[in-house]
Amino acid sequence: MTTIPVALGARSYEVAIAAGALDEAGTRLAAYAPRGRLIVVTDETVAAAWLPAFAAALDAAAIAHLPIVLPPGEASKSWAVLETLVDRLLDLGVERSDHVVALGGGVIGDLVGFACSIVKRGCGFVQVPTTLLAQVDSSVGGKTAINTRAGKNLVGSFHQPAHVLIDPLVLETLPPRELAAGYAEVVKYGLIDDALFFDWLEANGGALLAGDIRLRAHAIAHSVAAKARIVAADERETAGVRALLNLGHTFGHALEAETGFSNRLLHGEAVACGMALAFRFSAERGLCDPADAERVARHLAAAGLPTTMAAAGVEAGGDVLVAHMAHDKKRTGGRLPFLLARGIGGTFVASDVDLGDVVAFLDAERAACPTA
Ligand code: NAD
Ligand code: GLY
């Protein structure tokens, strides 16, 4: 078992990672079930694959479990499903001292975290993430949200979990496309400030994606440690540190918006393409060696991820994409911060980017690699 602390004073918690951890969930989560029961929120897909094993582990520790099973997919991060969830939690008599379990991917984690931040003015929750994306990113750090008419993740809160329990074995049932999308977020940590980790991923990424459990556990622990460091330094994204986690997200957000935040382009796929674009844009501005940009794109493409707008299925021109970016919540004070790179492991926040340059860059990208 690898245990990684997230140091946030009174809101500190641990992330525990071990192959087989799900089977020990009863003993590992007993401290969060003082009334001898746990409400477990999950989605239908995860329920079919993993709820029986999770429930059996709670049974073995004599912890009663009350499941709430929601529809899978991004559409569940909505006012309507939030209302359903909050009503169900209240019907089950949730108390502030309870810890609700979020068993699922980033959708369940974000939704349950938000519900727990408002129900009874805030109750506890525990993350048991079941996608690679959720294991290396969304389950740690306390960002919670739902989507609204105005856009994605625009209503939410910072509400830290009390504990995160990660079992890499649950990834066995994850579709390869979802696995690759989560892998983009793993690569992100190498690109932000850890060139040695990127080297390691180049050497081991193929075997990791093919199913090597030891490599998966190592990459998850390394990623969680990176995220924990960043969150501890800048919990509310006000000090310019946590913003580094948005590498690839400004370009990626525009691609997601253009594809309707749908299965046409998964979040991690958009981030992968966004990171490749951010590196090529950095190279074009003379900030980074073009060879680094090529290396990044080669590694992401080898993982089956899109690295051009054409591969992401986006035909829009630069002006349309920049308009999507300007609509993004990460805009502050009328300016759009961009995450650019001086090389692999050398990401920084640039606030002096001329949006006209971005439009021209994206138009040139489109011309260089037209959609079929
Ligand atoms: P998801 O939760 O929709 O999961 C993807 C799909 O995989 C779903 O259909 C789900 O049912 C299925 N699934 C989950 N675990 C499975 C398993 N073990 N086996 C088989 N199927 C499984 O998507 P995601 O990629 O995990 O998360 C995306 C969400 O995370 C987005 O809403 C995004 O905004 C959010 N996010 C939040 C943060 C944060 O810091 N809070 C960070 C990144 C992303
Ligand atoms: N995934 C971005 C963050 O947690 O800040």
Tens-digit pLDDT profile for residues 85-132: 999 999 999 999 999 999 999 999 999 999 999 999 999 999 999 999
CB 145 within 8 A of CB 153: yes
Mutation choice for ligand 2 from 110, 133, 138, 164, CB with most ligand atoms inside 8 A: 138
Residues 6+ apart with CB under 8 A from 56: 23
3-state SS, one letter per residue, for 149-214: CCEEEEEEEECCCCEEEECHHHHHHCCHHHHHHHHHHHHHHHHHHCHHHHHHHHHHHHHHHHCCHH
**What is the H or E stretch that residue 46 is in?**
helix 44-60
Between the CA of 102 and the centroid of ligand 1 the distance, in Å, is 11
Those residues of the chain that have pLDDT short of 70 are: 328-335, 372
- Cα(245)–Cα(253) distance, integer angstroms: 13
Let me know whether 76 and 181 are in one domain.
no
Q: Which of 173, 204, 222 is the last residue of a domain?
A: 173
Does the C-beta of 245 come closer than 6 Å to ligand 2?
A: yes
Nearest CA to ligand 1 atom 21: 174
Between the CA of 178 and the centroid of ligand 2 the distance, in Å, is 18
- Cα(139)–Cα(135) distance, integer angstroms: 6
- Cα(116)–Cα(102) distance, integer angstroms: 10
Q: How many CB atoms lie within 10 A of CB 312?
A: 26
Which amino acid makes up residue 161?
Answer: P
Q: Is 281 helix (H, G, I), strand (E, B) or coil?
A: helix
Which amino acid makes up residue 208?
Answer: L
Q: Is 286 helix (H, G, I), strand (E, B) or coil?
A: coil
Does the C-beta of 110 come closer than 6 Å to ligand 2?
A: no
Q: Which of 143, 173, 203 is the last residue of a domain?
A: 173
Does the C-beta of 43 come closer than 6 Å to ligand 1?
A: yes
pLDDT of residue 370: 74
pLDDT of residue 326: 85
| Helices 213-233 and 176-193, packing angle to 10 deg | 50
pLDDT of residue 327: 78
DSSP sequence for 211-258: T-HHHHHHHHHHHHHHHHHHHHH-TTS-SSSGGGGGTTHHHHHHHHHH
The residue written with tokens 């990401």 in the block is 347
Does the C-beta of 134 come closer than 6 Å to ligand 1?
A: yes
- Cα(168)–Cα(182) distance, integer angstroms: 13
Q: Which of 121, 138, 173 is the last residue of a domain?
A: 173
How far the first Cα of the chain sits from its last, in Å, is 48
Does the C-beta of 133 come closer than 6 Å to ligand 1?
A: yes
Nearest CA to ligand 2 atom 2: 245
Let me know whether 237 and 160 are in one domain.
no
> What are the b/e assignments for 128-162, b being 16+ CB within 10 Å?
bbbbbbbbbbbbbbbbbbbbeeeebbeebeebbbb
CB 61 within 8 A of CB 30: yes
Between the CA of 141 and the centroid of ligand 2 the distance, in Å, is 7
- Cα(179)–Cα(182) distance, integer angstroms: 5
Let me know whether 104 and 209 are in one domain.
no
Let me know whether 92 and 222 are in one domain.
no
Let me know whether 150 and 62 are in one domain.
yes
Does the C-beta of 173 come closer than 6 Å to ligand 1?
A: yes
Nearest CA to ligand 1 atom 2: 105
Does the C-beta of 18 come closer than 6 Å to ligand 2?
A: no
Q: Is 355 helix (H, G, I), strand (E, B) or coil?
A: helix
Provide the token pair at 71: 């529809």
Nearest CA to ligand 1 atom 39: 138
Number of domains comprising the chain = 2
The residue written with tokens 């001292």 in the block is 97
Find the CATH number of the domain harbouring 317.
Answer: 1.20.1090.10
Mutation choice for ligand 2 from 127, 139, 143, CB with most ligand atoms inside 8 A: 143
pLDDT of residue 337: 86
Between the CA of 346 and the centroid of ligand 1 the distance, in Å, is 28
Let me know whether 123 and 19 are in one domain.
yes
**Residue 71 is part of which domain span?**
2-173
Q: What angle do CA 214, 227, 205 make, to 5 degrees?
A: 35
Nearest CA to ligand 2 atom 3: 245
Let me know whether 140 and 218 are in one domain.
no
Let me know whether 150 and 181 are in one domain.
no
